[in-house]
Structure 1
Amino acid sequence: MMSSARRTCGRPRRCARAIAALLAAALLDGCMLGPDFVRPAPPQADRYTQEPLAATIAADGQAQQFAPGAALPADWWRLFGSAPMNGVVEQALARNPTLQSAEASLRQSQDNLRAGYGIFFPSLDAGLSATRMRSAPQQQGSTNEATVFNVVTASGVISYPLDWFGGERRAVEGLAAQVDLQRNAGRAAYLTLSANVVDACIARAAYAAQLRATEQLIALETEQLRSVEAQVDAGTTPYAAILSQQALIAGNQAQLAALRQKISQAEHLLALLMGSLPEQAALPDIALDSLALPATLPLSLPSELVRQRPDILQAEARLHAASADIGVATAAMFPSLSLSATYGSAGSKPGNFLAAGNRFWGIGPALTMPLFHGGSLWYGRQAAIDAYRQQEANYRQAVLQAFGQVADALNALQHDAQALQAQRDARDAAAGALQLLQANYRAGLVAYLDVLSADIQLHGADIAYLQAVAQRQQDTVALLAALGGGWWNAAAGAGEGAAP
């Protein structure tokens, strides 16, 4: 009987030791539940448009070459060769509140990540309390008289959660993804700001050039009006010709007011982008013809675009965070284990609470096992999976939009070159017609009114030409921005103002 009892008692002890060994191994090794994030593969494409584009046609004496794989400088606006515009961009990058907000958001996410790393270290807390109390012995069924006494307690607690199933590590992984998200949000803000500044500078210069051309046109139309009035006085032309000429002048004067308004709006936009009030901004005069058209345009390979566009990288970071959330939700369905220890002393006054008999301590593990939560943990994990699938679709959409924007910009530059060349031909034809009429007028073969009409046509063609020049410049900006702005080359020695 005794031997049988010993065998019966020995088995539980061996089982307990085995279970303890397995528990220790599990605590040491641990595991991370949920999917390990893998960056999405780039699209299988070797070009952006259906037809390969090597260069635009020559327009206004210049073609633009596309250089696949060439490095795009981080300070890409310097390709336009305008020192005044470079200064405006640099001021905006230094003072723009939106960019400063993005930088603060990045620092916040980095600090949140540093705070999240604290979960991997034991936490130590100390407490000190002093309480004066009055007991009520009747609460314990005693007939003794109530007493008043003091309790002074000092204690220290150390605890450490064992990340058995990787929930805490997945949470920190999600915080790291948030850092990537905010870093690329800052890059996106940087790219948007610089592109908007360059666009506004080009628009302002184009509006100013069109304003000058329109003023010259109105001056010619006014001179033509005086000629028409003289012909009406002589009885060779009906009075309706005066009204027609006045209507033409009034229409162009309305265009003059609209151009002045557009110039003001561009200047106000530049002031805001530079972090200044509109009345305080000091903007340099930038002539449209002082802006050089970049002759060679770097063109990122399609496989590289998804690693360079800040908006795509933001979508990837959101996808990574959603993947980590699945691991957090999965670990919440499993037991959690923590170790804690307490040591302290208590007494009736500060002078005796450190006595050996007043000390207390405790140590041990705590295991929490979810048993029934009404399906909240299960469906919480399903919601995390659904959120991941949503971000996966958002990522694909971001890639499609990026490729579409690059394709649009490439085709736009080709069409801009065609339109610009057509406007240049129209302007040259109008200039040639004016020269012939001027020669005929000097020979007495045509009336001066015909010469003025030809001059008006030339100025109209000149305004359309200026619009085409500005459009080509702005679509060049659109392509450089659609390619990501070259922030990844900042460390390779980009100029002042380059993205970090």
Structure 2
Amino acid sequence: MAVLLAGCAVGPDYVRPEVQKPQSLTRTPVATALPVSTTGGIGHQWWQAFGSAELDSIVQEALDKSPSIEAAQATLRAAHQNVVAQRGYFLPSAQLGYNPTRQNTGQSLSPPLNNGESLYTYHTAQLSVSYAPDLFGSNRRQVEGLQAAEESQRLQLQAARLSLAANLVAAVIQTSMLQEQTDLLQQATEAAQQQLQHMRKQQANGYASGLEVATQQTLLLQLQQQLVPLQKSLEQTRNLVATLMARTPDQAPALLPLSGYQLPLLPQVVPSQLVDQRPDIRAAETQVQQASAAVGVATAARLPQLSISAAYGGGATTFARMFSAGNVTWALGANLLAPLFNGGTLRARQQAAEAELQASAASYQSTVLSAFQDVANALYAVDADARALRMSRDSEEASYTTWKLSDSQLKAGYASMPTSLAAKQSWLQAQAARVAAQGSLYGDVVALYQSLGGGVLRTDASASAN
């Protein structure tokens, strides 16, 4: 009995597939334009690195109220209960039945009762116990597969949290960027309108040509045309923020200033850590685990199966006499079933499971390679954005100096108002370009955090209950 209970699990024991890990995440060191964290990995709530309490509150509300997170949590609970249900097959099952019947055997058959009555009520009760020892580990492998499926769902919950947080942080920062760009272009448009009015006055006095006025009017119209798509993107992004927070569009949160964020320190992550902390990589690994367990199930199906059953009960014409002397019934049996011929079905299913295992291992390797690509792309993007931001700041400072000098000359009578307004427009547009570069850098930093796995959002077992 001890041997039967322990059994042996046929099929392969799971081993993590080997993957090629690079020495570094990029060909050459990048992202040196930004400071790197000295604390190493990514924090639990990585979005706090942007230094905005308002942003933290927005993300927390989304994580607490998101229907997609709630759906993922419910799916995780279902996966956990499937594991619990499958484990139940390791134990015997028992059933208790009671069956009262009213019967009439008629006059053509001999009465079954000793008293000769053909019309009677008969009560039967029976306790049945059955047990199927897991001789070759079929049930054990099924439990392993379901445990891997549960782990996959837990990782998908983490991935959903990470995706929600990353998309929301990126959207909130984008609204800040679009709002500031809109304000700056609006000021540039107003300056262009003033410049057009002055040039029309100069034209009336013979100091400006019709071509110069037409050129300025064209510039004004171009600025106005740039405002429309910015305003459109701003409103649509605000709708996205509200939706991610499980709000309706009319309840979108207030806009946050771009100056309210600080540039996070870049986390230090080595390739081996990336494989262990990205939810999609770990979820791909659970697919390999499930496929490995399926091979064991298919292999065990080709081997003999044993089942044991026992029953104890009684029957009588009255309820009280069911278990009296002479009315007790019992049975004890065993059944050994071995497949002899099935047209190659079981063998083909085992070979199919083995092929699925190879396919899942290859998919796992592909997921790892794609993850390294995502991180490298994000690092190169952050490095390029940081350099672009420096150049845009230099351009903003140069255009500001030009405007201040032209404004001083205007006050001293050495420059015209249109010249000063043109310099102001250039400065405002340079500010808008700097805002766009800053927003792009913030967005790619968010993408970097996401590509690195975003830290461990929920790793404890309580995630299955929340």
Instruction: Output the TM-score relative to the length of structure 1.
Output: 0.86
Cα 1:331–1:136 shift into 2, 3 Å: farther
Q: Of residues 123, 127, 135 in structure 2, which corresponds to 1:164?
A: 135
2:32, 2:320 → 1: CA distance?
Answer: 91
Q: Of residues 347, 354, 364 in structure 2, which corresponds to 1:385?
A: 354
2:78, 2:364 → 1: CA distance?
Answer: 24
1:16-31 to 2 correspondence within 5 Å? 27=4, 29-31=6-8
**1:79 has 2:56 as partner:** no
Q: Which amino acid aligns with 1:83?
A: A
Assess if the C-alpha contact under 8 Å between 1:437 and 1:451 holds in 2: yes
Deviation per residue, 1:191-223 (Å, 9 max, x gap): 111111110111010001101101110110010
Aligned residue in 1 for 2:219: 248
SS of match in other structure, 1:64: coil
SS of match in other structure, 1:307: helix
Aligned residue in 2 for 1:12: none
1:112, 1:137 → 2: CA distance?
Answer: 54
**1:288 has 2:265 as partner:** no
Assess if the C-alpha contact under 8 Å between 1:43 and 1:303 holds in 2: no
1:423, 1:229 → 2: CA distance?
Answer: 33
**1:132 has 2:102 as partner:** yes
1:85-484 to 2 correspondence within 5 Å? 85-135=55-105, 147-281=118-252, 283-294=253-264, 296-484=265-453
Report deviation, 1:103: 1.1
Cα 1:366–1:209 shift into 2, 3 Å: same
Q: Which amino acid aligns with 1:124?
A: A
Percent same amino acid among aligned pairs? 36
Q: Which amino acid aligns with 2:141?
A: R
The alignment yields a C-alpha RMSD, in angstroms, of 2.4
Deviation per residue, 1:99-121 (Å, 9 max, x gap): 11111111111111111111111
Aligned residue in 2 for 1:34: 11
Report deviation, 1:382: 1.4
Assess if the C-alpha contact under 8 Å between 2:45 and 2:457 holds in 1: no
1:227, 1:396 → 2: CA distance?
Answer: 66
Assess if the C-alpha contact under 8 Å between 1:187 and 1:310 holds in 2: yes
Aligned residue in 2 for 1:47: 24
1:280, 1:221 → 2: CA distance?
Answer: 35
Q: 5+ residue gaps in structure 2?
A: 111-115
Assess if the C-alpha contact under 8 Å between 1:347 and 1:353 holds in 2: yes
Instruction: Output the TM-score relative to the length of structure 2.
Output: 0.92
Q: Of residues 56, 68, 85 in structure 1, which corresponds to 2:32?
A: 56
Q: 5+ residue gaps in structure 1?
A: 1-23, 58-62, 492-496
1:402, 1:44 → 2: CA distance?
Answer: 11
1:29, 1:105 → 2: CA distance?
Answer: 32
Comparing 75-84 with 369-378, which one deviates more in the overlay?
369-378
SS of match in other structure, 1:420: helix
Report deviation, 1:490: 7.5
Cα 1:370–1:244 shift into 2, 3 Å: same
Aligned residue in 2 for 1:19: none
1:279, 1:147 → 2: CA distance?
Answer: 79
Assess if the C-alpha contact under 8 Å between 1:56 and 1:417 holds in 2: no
SS of match in other structure, 2:100: strand
Report deviation, 1:237: 2.9
1:26, 1:352 → 2: CA distance?
Answer: 41
Deviation per residue, 1:425-469 (Å, 9 max, x gap): 222222222233233333433332222222211211111110000
Cα 1:121–1:77 shift into 2, 3 Å: same
1:289, 1:457 → 2: CA distance?
Answer: 21
Comparing 463-472 with 129-138, which one deviates more in the overlay?
129-138
Deviation per residue, 1:321-363 (Å, 9 max, x gap): 1110111111011111011101111223324333322221111
2:459, 2:88 → 1: CA distance?
Answer: 33
Assess if the C-alpha contact under 8 Å between 1:134 and 1:147 holds in 2: yes
Comparing 163-172 with 122-131, which one deviates more in the overlay?
122-131
Assess if the C-alpha contact under 8 Å between 1:326 and 1:384 holds in 2: yes
Cα 1:308–1:429 shift into 2, 3 Å: same
1:265, 1:317 → 2: CA distance?
Answer: 38
Aligned residue in 2 for 1:3: none
Comparing 149-158 with 316-325, which one deviates more in the overlay?
149-158
SS of match in other structure, 1:65: coil
1:277, 1:138 → 2: CA distance?
Answer: 78
Report deviation, 1:137: 8.9
Q: Which amino acid aligns with 2:69?
A: L
2:391, 2:62 → 1: CA distance?
Answer: 36
1:313, 1:292 → 2: CA distance?
Answer: 31
Count of residues in correspondence between the two structures? 457
